[in-house]
């Protein structure tokens, strides 16, 4: 005779069905998913109408994804799950630069650039000039050579290059490789605050919860160096109105800088600037892999397409 299950017995039975899962980690994860999902249904006494809406919401979230937009990552970001995963996997020794979420609009193959180059390829969406200097060292202050450093940010209107359409040129992003001095320097423009895309299911969720979609202005850095912990982080512009309410919970106090204004004249690279500009000087400290704390991951989180 077939067994019958009710709300008090079905959870244990479903978990039992995974008892022969060959992969122990998959078994652990699936059992936890079932246990917590069933607990949510029990706690909230979920109705059939609500469950149908939830399925429709997740279906629409998947249908919104494309090669230039990842709505599920956006959902993870706005629920704080991305930052929770980041915190669990990026415990670093004292003195190391803190990580944060990858954030929207990362592109795998950014244009390669040289120090002191200008990474803004046009002036259509310009802003106040910004000269950025970054030094990458180990925890003892020794420069890191041959580190691959990706940088990217929004324009003055708060848009990223790929938001201007599939044929838009990549701009305000670049990839550098550090020399013996461990330095990366470039000219660009001051980033602006921007809303995460809110024209899809995630935006509808935010609106229903009376939450705003804005992120504070920041400059992205992603660093890969042989023998060192991968780093994905932002440097945030101090004074931004959204520092205390970032839609994806990515702000950390140690990652905020004034981006001080400098007068027109001779810039640090020797060039002449005809108007006031902003200046970022930042020292990134990376731990070696053998210095990592227990439980931390050495590799970057896999995110194959930009969040949209």
What pLDDT sits at residue 308? 32
Considering the domain architecture, whether residues 42 and 139 belong to the same structural domain is answered as no
Residue where a domain terminates, one of 46, 64, 82: 64
pTM, rounded to two decimals? 0.88
Residue 218 lies in a domain: yes
Considering the domain architecture, whether residues 56 and 84 belong to the same structural domain is answered as no
Assigned token pair, 192: 């602006």
Residue where a domain terminates, one of 64, 88, 110: 64
Residue 177 lies in a domain: yes
Residue 251 lies in a domain: yes
What pLDDT sits at residue 90? 87
Residue 297 lies in a domain: no
Assigned token pair, 140: 């003892």
Considering the domain architecture, whether residues 251 and 156 belong to the same structural domain is answered as yes
* Total number of domains in the chain: 2
Query: Residues 224, 245: contact at Cβ < 8 Å?
Result: no
What pLDDT sits at residue 104? 61
Residue where a domain terminates, one of 64, 90, 109: 64
Domain containing 255 equals: 71-291
What is the tens place of the pLDDT at every residue in 38-86? Answer: 999 999 999 999 999 999 999 999 999 987 788 999 999 999 999 999 9
Considering the domain architecture, whether residues 46 and 193 belong to the same structural domain is answered as no
Residue 303 lies in a domain: no
Residue 124 lies in a domain: yes
What pLDDT sits at residue 302? 45
Considering the domain architecture, whether residues 96 and 232 belong to the same structural domain is answered as yes
Residue 4 lies in a domain: no
What pLDDT sits at residue 188? 96
- Looking up residue 88, the CATH number of its domain turns out to be 2.60.130.10
Residue 98 lies in a domain: yes
Considering the domain architecture, whether residues 36 and 90 belong to the same structural domain is answered as no
What pLDDT sits at residue 62? 97
Considering the domain architecture, whether residues 173 and 275 belong to the same structural domain is answered as yes
Considering the domain architecture, whether residues 112 and 38 belong to the same structural domain is answered as no
Considering the domain architecture, whether residues 40 and 172 belong to the same structural domain is answered as no
The low-confidence residues of the chain, meaning pLDDT below 50, are: 301-308
**DSSP states of the chain:** ------TTTHHHHHHHTTTT-SSHHHHHHHHHHHHHHHHHHHHHT--HHHHHHHHHHHHHHHHH-BTTB-HHHHHHHHTTHHHHHHHHH----TTSPPP----BT--SSPPB--TTEE----STT--SEEEEEEEEE-TTSPBPPS-EEEEE---TTS--GGGG-TTPPP-SEEEEE--TT-EEEEEEE----EEPP-SSHHHHHHHHTT---EE--EEEEEEE-TTB--EEEEEEETT-TTTTS-TT----GGGEE---EE-SEE-TTS-EESS-EEEEEEEEE--BGGGPPTT--SSPPP--S-B-
Considering the domain architecture, whether residues 41 and 140 belong to the same structural domain is answered as no
Considering the domain architecture, whether residues 105 and 123 belong to the same structural domain is answered as yes
For residue 74, CA distances in Å to 40, 67, 69, 120, 205 come to 22, 14, 9, 26, 11
Closest CA to 69 of 77, 210, 223, 209: 77
Considering the domain architecture, whether residues 155 and 276 belong to the same structural domain is answered as yes
Query: Residues 235, 282: contact at Cβ < 8 Å?
Result: yes
For residue 186, CA distances in Å to 106, 130, 217, 281 come to 19, 8, 18, 11
What is the tens place of the pLDDT at every residue in 118-148? Answer: 999 866 667 899 999 999 999 999 999 999 9
């Amino acid at each position: 005779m077939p067994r019958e299950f009710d709300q008090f017995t079905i959870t244990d039975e479903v978990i039992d069905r995974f008892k022969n899962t060959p992969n122990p980690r998959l078994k652990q994860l699936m059992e936890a998913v079932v246990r917590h999902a069933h607990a949510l249904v029990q706690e909230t006494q979920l109705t059939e109408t609500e469950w149908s809406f939830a399925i429709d919401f997740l279906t629409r979230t998947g249908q919104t994804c494309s090669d230039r937009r990842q709505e599920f990552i956006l959902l993870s970001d706005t629920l704080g799950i991305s930052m929770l995963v980041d915190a669990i996997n990026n415990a670093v020794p004292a003195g190391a630069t803190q990580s944060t979420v990858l954030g929207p609009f990362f592109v795998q193959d950014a244009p390669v650039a040289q120090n002191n180059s200008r990474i803004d390829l046009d002036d259509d969406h310009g802003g106040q000039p910004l000269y950025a200097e970054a030094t990458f060292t180990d925890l003892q202050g020794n420069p890191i050579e041959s580190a691959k450093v990706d940088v990217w940010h929004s324009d003055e209107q708060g848009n990223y290059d790929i938001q201007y359409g599939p044929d838009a040129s990549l701009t305000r992003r670049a990839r550098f490789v550090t020399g013996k001095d461990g330095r990366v320097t470039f000219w660009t423009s001051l980033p602006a605050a921007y809303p995460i895309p809110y024209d899809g299911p995630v935006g509808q969720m935010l609106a229903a919860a009376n939450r705003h979609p804005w992120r504070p202005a920041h400059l992205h850095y992603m660093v890969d160096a042989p023998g060192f912990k991968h780093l994905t982080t932002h440097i945030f512009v101090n004074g931004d109105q959204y520092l205390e309410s970032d839609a994806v919970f990515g702000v950390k106090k140690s990652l905020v800088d004034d981006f001080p204004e400098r007068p027109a004249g001779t810039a640090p690279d020797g060039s002449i600037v005809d108007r006031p500009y902003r200046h970022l000087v930042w020292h990134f400290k990376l731990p070696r892999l053998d210095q990592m704390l227990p439980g931390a991951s050495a590799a970057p989180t896999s995110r194959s397409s930009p969040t949209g």
